[in-house]
């Protein structure tokens, strides 16, 4: 079974598979154009454009979902 490209057999099992899990999470985030959110501190946009804030919130929610699916 796959969620956002994360195979359930690659779930984090602790220290023993952390490096493999981390590589998988980074690859999935990169495939979804979200890796920049974990590589850099990207603050919530300070803009009055609601669409920018909505898009930022969607990206953050996607990153959380992908990481939680891999735990």
- Can you tell me the distance from the alpha carbon of 44 to that of 8, in angstroms, rounded to the nearest whole number? 31
How many structural domains comprise the chain? 1
The reported pLDDT for the residue numbered 41 is 80
pTM of the predicted model as reported, rounded to 2 decimal places: 0.72
The reported pLDDT for the residue numbered 5 is 57
Within 10 angstroms of residue 11's Cβ, the number of other Cβ atoms is 13
The reported pLDDT for the residue numbered 58 is 93
Domain of 63 in residue numbering reads as 2-69
The reported pLDDT for the residue numbered 1 is 42
- pLDDT average per 10 residues of sequence, the chain (71 residues): 57 88 91 88 84 91 88 74
The reported pLDDT for the residue numbered 7 is 57
């Amino acid at each position: 079974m796959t969620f956002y490209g994360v195979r359930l057999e690659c779930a984090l099992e602790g220290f023993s598979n952390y490096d493999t899990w981390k590589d998988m999470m980074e690859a999935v985030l990169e495939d979804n154009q979200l890796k920049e959110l974990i590589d850099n501190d990207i603050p919530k946009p300070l803009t009055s454009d609601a669409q920018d804030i909505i898009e930022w919130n969607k990206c953050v929610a996607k990153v959380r979902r992908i990481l939680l699916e891999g735990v």
